[in-house]
């Protein structure tokens, strides 16, 4: 590959990696989605109109992504240490889950305690208690 | 390198419902197809992302075939 364009394999690889990074960047994907949405909303599917819209919006984003990734190659490396705290993030949901579980158990306990009251208290009062218990949830 | 020796690696993304089924039928009816085509089954050709194609080239494929 790249022989017909007289490209060295290393350069070709670099270009491919740049392209891959550009294609998988969130910005480009967002712009692509927005342009597709805009074209769909307009309902004009002529080649000229689509080319015009793409040149307006997508070409800038793609050029920007390619140029931005060509200059600072160290950015992904910097991001990787920042990703280390990411494992800490899942811990928080676990705590939340535990809290939720605790909350879930509390109403159950209340119900258990409320059960004998139901027997003694009139029906209207128990109904009111039930509604309040639901609201608390 | 002569043209006869050149044996390109081709990566194929085949749709489950048409191209992959056709390849399967070819296999069942004992047709032989060249081994330099490595197939990847996708549930729909719409699943193929541009990044898949570029990744294939980066990994050393000489050509990408998308069938669907």
Provide the pLDDT for residue A81. 47
pLDDT tens-digit series, residues A20-67: 998 888 999 999 999 999 999 989 899 999 999 999 888 888 888 888
pLDDT tens-digit series, residues B14-62: 999 999 999 999 999 999 888 899 999 999 999 999 999 999 999 999 9
More confident residue, A31 or A9: A31
Candidates B12, B17, B49, B54; CA nearest to B33 is: B12
- Domain of residue B36 covers 10-67
The answer to whether residue B62 sits within a structural domain is yes
Question: Helix or strand or coil: residue A44?
Answer: coil
Interface mutation vs chain A, best among B8, B57, B61, most A CBs within 10 Å: B57
Q: Which residues of B touch A23 (CB under 8 A)?
A: 49-51, 54
Average pLDDT for chain A? 69
Torsions phi, psi for B41 (to 5 deg): -85, 130
More confident residue, A134 or B35: B35
The answer to whether residue B18 sits within a structural domain is yes
More confident residue, B28 or A100: B28
Provide the pLDDT for residue A78. 46
Q: How many residues does chain A have?
A: 137
Sheet bearing B63-67, strands edge to edge: B37-42, B10-15, B63-67
Q: Is B50 on the interface with A (CB under 8 A)?
A: yes
Long-range Cβ contact pairs of A65-73 (< 8 A, separation 24 or more) = A65/A21, A65/A22, A65/A25, A65/A27, A65/A28, A66/A18, A66/A19, A66/A22, A69/A18, A69/A21, A69/A22, A69/A25, A70/A18
Domain count, chain B: 1
Cα atoms found within 13 Å of the Cα of residue A24, Cβ hemisphere only? 12
Nearest CA in chain A to B54: A20
How far A7 CA sits from the closest chain B CA (Å)?
14
The size of the A-B interface in CB pairs under 8 A is 17
């Amino acid at each position: 590959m790249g022989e017909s364009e007289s490209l060295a394999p290393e350069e070709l690889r670099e270009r491919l990696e740049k392209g891959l990074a550009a294609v998988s960047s969130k910005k480009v994907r967002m712009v692509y989605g927005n342009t597709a949405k805009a074209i769909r909303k307009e309902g004009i599917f002529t080649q000229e109109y689509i080319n015009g819209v793409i040149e307006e919006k997508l070409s800038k984003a793609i050029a920007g992504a390619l140029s931005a990734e060509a200059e600072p190659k160290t950015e992904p490396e910097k991001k990787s240490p920042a990703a280390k705290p990411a494992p800490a993030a899942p811990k928080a949901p676990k705590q939340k889950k535990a809290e939720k579980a605790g909350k879930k158990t509390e109403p159950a306990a209340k119900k258990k305690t409320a059960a004998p009251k139901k027997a003694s208290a009139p029906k209207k009062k128990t109904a009111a208690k039930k509604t309040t218990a639901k609201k608390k949830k | 390198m002569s043209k006869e020796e050149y044996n390109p690696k081709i990566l194929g993304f085949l749709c489950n419902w048409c191209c992959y089924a056709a390849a399967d039928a070819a296999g069942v009816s004992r047709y032989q197809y060249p081994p330099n085509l490595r197939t990847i089954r996708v549930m729909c050709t719409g699943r193929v992302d541009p990044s898949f194609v570029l990744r294939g080239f980066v990994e050393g494929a000489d050509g990408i075939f998308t069938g669907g």
